Amino acid sequence: MTLTQRLVLYGTCAVALMNSVGLLVLLVQQNQQQGRLERTEARLTEVEQSSVVEFIQEVPRGAAGLRASAGGEQPQYQYQYSRNKRSEEMEKELKQEMQEIHLEEGKEFSEQEVSQEVGEETEKKMKHKHRHSQRYHKTQVQDDMMMMMTYSMVPLPGADGMPGQNGTDGIPGVNGTPGADGKRGKRPPGEKGEPGEKGARGEPGPPGETSQPSNDVIIECLIKSLINPRNVTKMESTFGTWMKDTAQLNDERIWVAEHFSRVVKEYQSIASFQSNTSDVVDVRKFYQGCGHTVHNGSLYYHIAGTSSIAFHFHTKSLRTLSIDHALHHNLAYLLHNSKTYFKLAADENGLWLIFASSMDESIMVAQLDQKTFSVTSYINTTYPRTKAGNAFIACGVLYVTDTKDSRVTFAFDLLKGKPVNMTFDLRSPGGVLAMLSYSPKDRHLYVWDQGYVRLYVVHF
């Protein structure tokens, strides 16, 4: 679509809004460039919906790109809406966001790809084991040999003579070689001395330091390194989330949620993801940001413009949970780089929700109960959202990156409720890191980095 066409469309929509009553019917033709138009429509529709008040009818006709729930019909939605102050604010925000997105996308094409350096620890194997081979020296002791020379007289036949005299002593033999060294003699122990006098009491030491982050978390649960980076595919959008179910073992499907929409794409496998063959699932509410997760058959997402998260999927039912005192609009993001207010995370302990407190803007984590879809506990990390680029949770530990998303600069043990002394490199700075999520199912880190969808193996 050309810029002019787009402007015309925006204009039309604006006029419709200004009139502030009546039905807005957007007929959208199915063609290759439909996606962008849909998103525009989606945003505007959400503006209307947020102020709505009533949702009167759902007329199935035409193509809105939404998969009908059962019979293959494609519904198009007609809304009756009323305009109020809130919708104006939200519209403003959306327009700003859209401008930002267009800007980013323009940049994206002109930008050279930044080659990625992986925060992979080079494992230095320092296995220089010195073996001390012990040699036993055998000393050969030479036996001394003495030779005695004796003279004797041969007797003549006849009477026995007198016994001869003893011969003279022979010459002494040569000296033998010296024997081996003997064992060291033992000195007998001396007597025990008297105890010394008691020393004087020392000066009092300086006051101890206040408690510091420690690493006494279960060591196997701290990330040692991120290894084996693998590019899965390249996406067209800068902002998005890609997910596999983090609990169901044999579910190989992949879902993609691009920032601000009410549909997610469903791919049957990595192969169909790579060949771009997807179905579309309508999740019934507009979502925002890149903080969603698929866990045990449900998609958990932030309902745009609200302080609520919802889940939805195979049951097709929608349940919502409202979080008090959470920043959720006016561009006061939890994770500014990815336009995310709420970040959901699943790990070995279940489901978590990361958000920023509207009281003091510190990063809070709520542990969620899946069965009742309620908050079990809140954890205050006291870390300011303004220092955070992105965040993920693995094995009970929250990891937060710096604002350039190049290093993990803060870690917090959620089970013990205290910070962990740990930092590590992640990627070279530059470009938009939209998403960083851990999956306990395969122990992989799922990444959406400058449109590249990537996997790392998390090595604990």
Ligand X SMILES: *[C@@H]1O[C@H](CO)[C@@H](O)[C@H](O)[C@H]1NC(C)=O
Binding-site ranges for ligand X (CB under 6 A): 35, 113, 115-116, 165-166, 212-213, 229-231, 236, 247, 276, 296, 357, 359-360, 362, 370, 380, 382, 421, 452
Q: Residue 274: how many CB atoms within 10 A of its CB?
A: 14
Nearer to ligand X, 81 or 313 (CB): 313
What type of residue sits at position 87? S
Helix, strand, coil percent values for the chain (each to nearest 5): 15, 30, 55
Beta-ladder partners of 263 = 282
Give least dist CB 360 to ligand X, A.
Answer: 5
Nearer to ligand X, 187 or 314 (CB): 314
Nearer to ligand X, 51 or 244 (CB): 244
Nearer to ligand X, 38 or 93 (CB): 38
Angle at 138 between CA 132 and CA 141, to 5 degrees: 160
Residues whose CB falls within 8 Å of the CB of residue 10, separated by 6 or more in sequence, listed in order:
40
Between CA 408 and CA 390 the distance in angstroms is 9
Check: CB of residue 22 under 8 Å from CB of residue 51.
no
Nearer to ligand X, 88 or 360 (CB): 360
Give least dist CB 262 to ligand X, A.
Answer: 17
Give least dist CB 174 to ligand X, A.
Answer: 24
Check: CB of residue 448 under 8 Å from CB of residue 235.
yes
Give least dist CB 296 to ligand X, A.
Answer: 4
Q: Residue 37: how many CB atoms within 10 A of its CB?
A: 18
Give least dist CB 358 to ligand X, A.
Answer: 8
Residues whose CB falls within 8 Å of the CB of residue 232, separated by 6 or more in sequence, listed in order:
242, 270, 273, 274, 453, 454, 455
Give least dist CB 455 to ligand X, A.
Answer: 10
What type of residue sits at position 223? I
CA Rg value for the chain: 41
Nearer to ligand X, 367 or 370 (CB): 370
Nearer to ligand X, 54 or 209 (CB): 209
Q: What are phi and psi of 44, to 5 degrees?
A: -65, -40
Residues whose CB falls within 8 Å of the CB of residue 279, separated by 6 or more in sequence, listed in order:
67, 265, 266
Give least dist CB 428 to ligand X, A.
Answer: 10
Nearer to ligand X, 47 or 411 (CB): 411
Nearer to ligand X, 17 or 375 (CB): 375
Give least dist CB 236 to ligand X, A.
Answer: 5
Give least dist CB 449 to ligand X, A.
Answer: 8
Rounded to the nearest 10 degrees, how much is the dihedral formed by the CA atoms of 236, 441, 247, 410?
Answer: -70
Cα–Cα nearest to 329, from 399, 242, 260: 260
